[in-house]
Structure 1
Amino acid sequence: METQFARGTPTGLGVYAKALTHALAGRSDVEVVELHDPRFDVWRFDRRVYWDQIRAPQLAAAAQVQVVHFTGGTLPLRPPHPCVLTVHDMAWLRGAVQGRSYSRMYFGALQRRLVRHADAIATDTAVVRDEILSLLQLPQTQVSVCGCGVDGAWFGLARRVAEPPYLLYVGTVEERKDLITAVRALAQLPDVRLVSAGPQTGYAARVRAAAESAGVGERVTLQGFVDEATLRALYCSAIALIFPSRYEGFGLPALQALAAGLPVVASDLPVLREVLGDWALFAPPGDARAFAQCVRSIMEGGPRIEKQTMGGRVHAERMQWPEVADRLVQLYRSVTEPS
């Protein structure tokens, strides 16, 4: 199991690898060997390529395992077999990620060719599965929806909204996440703050500039990465999670919010409808006015919001890591014990 992405400052890739490893380690029918090397910072492009193409295959060969699960969405040129690859989204191939030309070549064009060499591909949602099948022209039997989960610690958090209230955004501050729409919505919500928790890219400067231009600069805080305890405290005190992304593969922060009893305002994307069901308020992507109106509805409260909050927790309880592990173990068996 490739767990390198759970080291250092983990993003969604790291949360996935860490939680899945923990869920699998608690089973008696599978033994997990972690593939990681603390010397490598996979968030640097050169280190990432070295990890993908040299170090990870070396560790996999030395481990002498029956199947290798690559969790970061990329494969080496000569992948060990049998192998399972998790593809969380098609952001690079969709042009939804801004990056230098060599990054686009590696994560886009090259990996588009290499993905085909996986014995099986796991993905988090049916929406992304259909994207993979359409963009890569793969046989349907090669791609399986195994889902994504939410850790049990998110349930039962004690909620107490801070004063003045704040909207919480969780995730990387990058263009496809469209935090500027959240800033523009904030301009229509007097006395409400916006707090962001997650790694930042160059897009963060544009967010700050948009906040100043909208006259809400003092009400916007981009905290960067925070540890797990701080993150949960932020969820507990927020009035809502705002998730204005224009492209997602799953939307784990929004599912965590449902588990924590935190109302969610999200972009009306098919993938977020799939993950969140009827338990979030949805606004058209990029429509700041609609996002602001959804936040007002949450602040006003009432039976509908209470029902959504309670139903959201029940919905999230159906999406936990042991069930994801069950589906992946079946996938491992399918590539190691072909019929």
Structure 2
Amino acid sequence: MAMYIAIVHYSAPPIIGGVETVMRAHTELLLSAGHKVVILAGRGNTFDKRAPLIRMPLLDSTHPGILAVGKELAQGVVSEHFVELRSAVEHELRDQLGDADVCIVHNAFTLHKNLPLTAALCNLSADRLVQMVAWCHDVAWTNPQYLPALYDGEPWNLLKRPAPGVRYVAVSRDRAGQLATLWGQDGPPVIQIPNGVDGPAFLRLGPTAQRLAERLALWHQDLVLLLPARLTRRKNIELAIRTTASLVARGIKVCLIVTGPPGPHNVTNIHYVRQLDELRRSLAVERQVILLYLERDAAGRPMRIGDRVVADLYALSDALLFPSKQEGFGIPVLEAALARMPAFYSDIEPLRELAGDDTHFFALDSSPQAIADQIEDWMRNDRIYRLRRRVIQRYTWQAVYVNHIEPLLMEIAQQAKPQLDTK
């Protein structure tokens, strides 16, 4: 169900700030999911033409009038000026939010940077004008730095009690705990939704690698193995396929990506490709073992990748698996080292010469099960791998949206449906 979602904050991009960065990410996620989005902020500009920014100067924490009232409030004075600003903000918000299904408010329900805005939002939430979601990055009443400017009374106490009808989201367990401490046992539940990272942008993935990551569900795997090699018999790719099958049999969600085409100087290599394809099918791992030579690009043509895409695949993968029988040198050893990628190599002299004792080796006559044992042991014990994979699975923005934001919106839509049906 497409929803009309308003996002409220003191400022918006291109203003630089942590909350502003989150707003941008939320906006892009919501738009991609088919929702209509409007940004209400005191400062900033439209950063996505699909989501207009409506500039409301009194939402700005640095507006001269808001700063003047803030100085009074810091001395414990609640003047008529505060009341006038609260009424003005409330009137403007009421006009803008009348058609919205959801209003996501960043920080203003729990931070004291614009108390006229906080008071206006509390009045609107009491009127049930729109389902409000308080997205809490900071909590004024639990921060010693802010306590000297807070007093026991109105409007300061609005920041330490839950507003009526508002759903509260905290960005961390720590922030959720602070709200629970403020409210006591009678407070409403706090939903924990973490911030995220734009995985493709941070890894600087090109469009081809991004499409591959989505098509192959690389963001959702337990392990992504890379084998950067041409499809020739001396590369011993069948051993990598059997090792992958052993990992799959253990319940590990694994994807092995073999990057190269058949070697150009031996006409029998195309028969080897067929044998590899038959092997992965016989082991029921055709979805886990990807021979890019047999894949198709966005236009439906056989996929051919260059050095840029290979470099992107290094960034996307967790480890290198290279079971070659013969090598003259061993470029993947150098590439994996530059990519800071753990690697599992056949113990042949050219690879040992390059890598020394600073990587993982297995004997050429090792069984697939023994190699899988070695990889699984590394998975259990390598802290960097475990943290990286946890970030990829839980904290990319797409994962945050699917696991947290989308279910919240679906719940709001389901609860709103009976009200709509009675109208």
TM bracket, shorter-chain basis: 0.3 to 0.5
Provide TM-score, normalisation by structure 2. Answer: 0.33
Provide TM-score, normalisation by structure 1. Answer: 0.41
